[in-house]
Amino acid sequence: MIRRILTCSFLAAAALLTGCASVPMATPEQDAAAKSFAVTADKANVYIYRNESFGGAVKMPVVVDGKIVGDTLAKTYIKQEVAPGSHTIISKAENDAELKFDVAAGKNYFVWQEVKMGIWMARSALTLVDEAQGKEGVAECKLIEGAK
């Protein structure tokens, strides 16, 4: 009986983490331009991507240096151009995952936004990944339109 309740609870939670949600998407041209990975000489690019299907319908707001830059869904990414120096990214979910790191001008940085099972809703984690892994992850995703 307990096993049946646990199984039903898990399936209900999984159903809540999937479904239909949407965010404003960038044009295919903007997506292709972002995936060229070109960097302005005096800036750095930070790509925050979610290349998993798990929790696909769960929107996760992303905050860069105290400013909301958009919500991610499964298979989406955000590109932010930032000045060299220290930056903080927060992924808002059941928890607030926070990642602080330094960037240098003329480089790309990649942050994987992982979705995890939470108690009441989805949780998230942020991981700075190397360029090869980051480019591969971004290639699997589509660019969202950033916050205005």
> Where are the chain's structural domains?
2-143
- Is pLDDT at 97 greater than 50 in this prediction? yes
147 within 8 A of 70, measured Cβ to Cβ: yes
Euclidean distance between CA atoms 14 and 87, whole angstroms: 33
pLDDT, tens digit, 9 for 90 and up, residues 41-86? 999 999 999 998 766 678 899 999 999 999 999 999 999 999 999 9
Beta bridge partners of 61: 71
Looking at residue 19, its pLDDT comes to 44
Looking at residue 58, its pLDDT comes to 80
Euclidean distance between CA atoms 44 and 106, whole angstroms: 5
Q: Which of 66-70, 93-97, 109-113, 119-123 has the lowest mean pLDDT?
A: 119-123
The CATH number corresponding to 2-143 among 3.50.50.60, 3.20.20.80, 3.40.50.800, 2.60.40.10 equals 2.60.40.10
The rounded mean pLDDT for the chain is 85
